[in-house]
Amino acid sequence: MGKITTQDILSFKNKRKLTMLTAYDYPLASLIDRAGIDMILVGDSVANVVLGLDSTTKVGMSEMLHHAKAVTRAVKQALVIGDMPFESYQLNPEEAVKNARRFIDEAACDCVKLEWFEKALEVTEKIIKSGIAVMGHIGLTPQTADKLGGFKVQGKEAAAAQKLIEQALALEKLGCFAIVLECVPDKIAEIITQKLKIPAIGIGAGVHCDGQVLVTHDMLGLFERFTPKFVKKYINLSPMILEAVEAYKQEVLEGKFPAPEHTFSINKAEVDKLNSA
Residues contributing to the site for ligand KIV (CB under 6 A): 22, 41, 43-45, 83, 180, 182, 203, 213, 215
Alpha-carbon distance of 59 to 52, in angstroms, equals 11
- Quote the DSSP letter at residue 16: S
Is the bond leading into 185 cis (omega within 30 degrees of zero)? Answer: no
In the complex, minimum distance from the CB of residue 71 to ligand KIV, in angstroms, rounded to a whole number: 13
Chain residue whose CB lies nearest ligand KIV:
43
Nearest CB to ligand KIV, comparing residues 4 and 215: 215
Handedness of CA 192, 14, 183, 103 (dihedral sign): negative
In whole angstroms, the minimum distance from the beta carbon of 216 to ligand KIV comes to: 9
Q: How far apart are the first and last CA of the chain?
A: 63
Closest approach, Cβ 177 to ligand KIV, in A, equals 15
Q: Please give the Cα distance from 75 to 173 (Å, whole number).
A: 30
Closest CB to ligand KIV among residues 4, 21: 21
Which of the 8 DSSP states describes residue 237? H
Cβ 59 to ligand KIV shortest distance, Å: 10
Mode of pairing for the β-strands spanning 200-203 and 79-83: unpaired
Active site residues: 182
**Residue 104 or residue 223: which is nearer to ligand KIV going by CB?**
223
Element at 202 (helix H, strand E): strand 200-203
CA–CA distances in Å: residue 42 to residues 25, 34, 172, 184, 223: 9, 17, 22, 22, 16
Picking from 116, 105, 123, 20, the residue whose alpha carbon sits closest to that of residue 65 is 105
* Residue among 113 and 257 whose Cβ is closer to ligand KIV: 113
